[in-house]
A and B are shown apart, each in its own frame.
Chain A
Amino acid sequence: MFKEFLARLFGAEPSGKTAKDRLKLVLLSDHISLAPEVVEALKTDLLEVIGRYVEIDTSHVVVDFEHRDREIALTANVPILSMRDRPLPPPLPPIVPRANGVATAPAFELDEPAAPLAETSPPSAEAAPPAGEAAPVEAPAETCAPSETPAEAPLAGDEPIAAADSPAAGAPAAEPVAEVPVAVTAEPVVPQAVTPAPANGKRSRRRRRKGAPPPASMPKLSDAAKA
């Protein structure tokens, strides 16, 4: 009784409210699971993105929705066959229309602006534009050129970074985040192993100077987009 009094005093949630929340959640998942074609489309897109970075066994992929405490998690079990030496270039056309005029980075970056995927791609002189930087669609040629020769053109070199940072800073939250908290787990994942050893030092330092948090190691797939 005293406990109840305290609970009421400190605003413990009435169970009716809990029931309402649980109901909403359970129905959300019911309705999601009732639309297999949506799950299938999501799975296709998801694999396309993951497949750019690692070679995956598409025949044994399981994408599912599962209940966590107070959220529904999207779990993807993606067997990885091998790492790709270099990420495949993203298919630009499907990303552009979603950007609403604002350059929007790939979905994995949405919640991890501090560790854009660009950091994870092995930088090399002859490289095609790294995946993360391909996003600023306004000026792909510019963003590409300075990243090849950062030392010679430091001023121009800032441009792609600013552009890459902008979705994080300005940031109307892009619509893929939606209401469903999505946590993607992939296994077996070997994220640390692929952190590029060759120095991307200059670009990292510049980032830090600009006030961005230090570049993390490769964002784990399991960290991605947790709303």
Chain B
Amino acid sequence: MHELASEVPAEAPVAKVRGRSIVVTSGKGGVGKTTTTANVGAALAARGARVVLIDADVGLRNLDIVLGLESRVRYHVLDVLEEKIGIEDALVRDKRTENLYLLAAAQSREKEEVETAKMRALVEALRDRFDYVLIDSPAGIESGFKNAVVGADEAIVVCMPEVSSVRDADRVVGLLPNSMRPQLIVNRLRPGLVRKQKMLSVEDVNAILHLPLLGVLTDDESVIKAANRGEALSLDPASSIGSIYRDIAARIAGDEAAPKASAEPAPAGVFAKLGALFGRKR
């Protein structure tokens, strides 16, 4: 641990207050953990915070792709944990945001190779240097998940409004220590379907999970386009999804006034009901 900390060059900015460590998790795969980590991290950095993102999905590295940093990754988290390289050399700076760094996962290694105690020490060391340490957890609840959680003080649970995702989120919340006070992001909601009662609503989801709501994101093709390009939507001032991520970042930063960005549909009017009855496009 002290070895890790000593790798930091003397001239590096040293945070006076230790940063917050937050794990982004979900249980189920494919619900948007990595996208959330990237976008929330970028939005926090755009607010001026120093942010490092750790990809804890060892063996299935993806966060670098979402951020468009794949070509810059030289070393990964296991190199640091095994002390082959200093933290400083393994951190990849974001191409667009000055205060945003990535510590990539190892692609050709296995989750089981990560030592839990060392992972905790790594996060502790990074908290001295950064305001936020966001940890992108792998899917599942096995060793990879445990290593992602071990260094975190807080948790964000990403959940899609569907049965399997809510069930897994419920399981994950049960595994997180209460002290982490997990908060909820409902991702990929389709308001049209919710209105027709063909999808669980945010209320339905949270009637099960009972978590403080950080924000709600609709299912939007702009997310796919941004991932194709390797750009964080939260840095795009014109993007509506990006603005929801910015609101989420504001709430994380303690701005309680930030809108919860609820994408709950307005109650359906008479015409919408009639349309639904007569089989208008479902």
Binds B, one of A18-26, A150-158, A199-207: A18-26
Binds B, one of A8-16, A43-51, A101-109, A118-126: A8-16
B170, closest chain A residue (CB): A27
A34 at interface, CB cutoff 8 A = yes
* Contacting pair B197 A17 (CB below 8 A): yes
Chain B contacts for A8, CB-based, 8 A: 276-277, 279
A4 at interface, CB cutoff 8 A = yes
Partner of A4, one of B162, B171, B197, B279: B279
Interface residue ranges of B153-208 to A (CB < 8 Å):
162-163, 166-167, 170-171, 174, 193-194, 196-201, 204, 208
Most chain A CB inside 10 Å of its own CB: which residue of B163, B166, B174, B196: B163
B278 at interface, CB cutoff 8 A = yes
* Contacting pair A27 B200 (CB below 8 A): no
Given contacts A4-B279, A16-B194, A34-B174, contact A26 B200 (CB under 8 A): no
Interface size on B, residues (CB 8 A): 22
Partner of B208, one of A5, A17, A27: A27
* Contacting pair A19 B199 (CB below 8 A): yes
Inter-chain CA distance A30–B163, complex, in Å, is: 13
**1/0 per residue B36-76: CB within 8 Å of A?**
00000000000000000000000000000000000000000
A41 at interface, CB cutoff 8 A = no
Chain A contacts for B197, CB-based, 8 A: 14-17
* Contacting pair B200 A23 (CB below 8 A): yes
Partner of A19, one of B163, B196, B279, B282: B163
Chain B contacts for A22, CB-based, 8 A: 163
Chain B contacts for A15, CB-based, 8 A: 197-198
A141 at interface, CB cutoff 8 A = no
* Contacting pair B200 A16 (CB below 8 A): yes
Cβ distance A133 to chain B, nearest Cβ, rounded Å: 45
A169 at interface, CB cutoff 8 A = no
A193 at interface, CB cutoff 8 A = no
* Contacting pair A16 B170 (CB below 8 A): no
Partner of B167, one of A14, A17, A23, A34: A23
Given contacts A16-B197, A16-B200, A17-B197, contact A26 B163 (CB under 8 A): yes
Supply 9 A–B pairs (Cβ within 8 Å), ascending by A: A8-B276, A8-B279, A16-B197, A16-B200, A16-B201, A19-B163, A19-B199, A22-B163, A30-B170
Chain B contacts for A23, CB-based, 8 A: 163, 166-167, 200, 204, 208
Chain B contacts for A1, CB-based, 8 A: 279
* Contacting pair B199 A16 (CB below 8 A): yes
Inter-chain CA distance A173–B4, complex, in Å, is: 64
Cβ distance B159 to chain A, nearest Cβ, rounded Å: 11
**1/0 per residue B241-282: CB within 8 Å of A?**
000000000000000000000000000000000001111001
Chain A contacts for B162, CB-based, 8 A: 19
Inter-chain CA distance A27–B201, complex, in Å, is: 17
* Contacting pair B171 A30 (CB below 8 A): yes
Cβ distance A179 to chain B, nearest Cβ, rounded Å: 16
Inter-chain CA distance A27–B279, complex, in Å, is: 33
Cβ distance B205 to chain A, nearest Cβ, rounded Å: 9
* Contacting pair B198 A14 (CB below 8 A): yes
* Contacting pair B204 A5 (CB below 8 A): no
Cβ distance A38 to chain B, nearest Cβ, rounded Å: 15
Cβ distance B167 to chain A, nearest Cβ, rounded Å: 6
Most chain B CB inside 10 Å of its own CB: which residue of A15, A19, A22: A19
Inter-chain CA distance A14–B192, complex, in Å, is: 13
Given contacts A30-B167, A34-B174, contact A16 B198 (CB under 8 A): yes
Inter-chain CA distance A17–B196, complex, in Å, is: 10
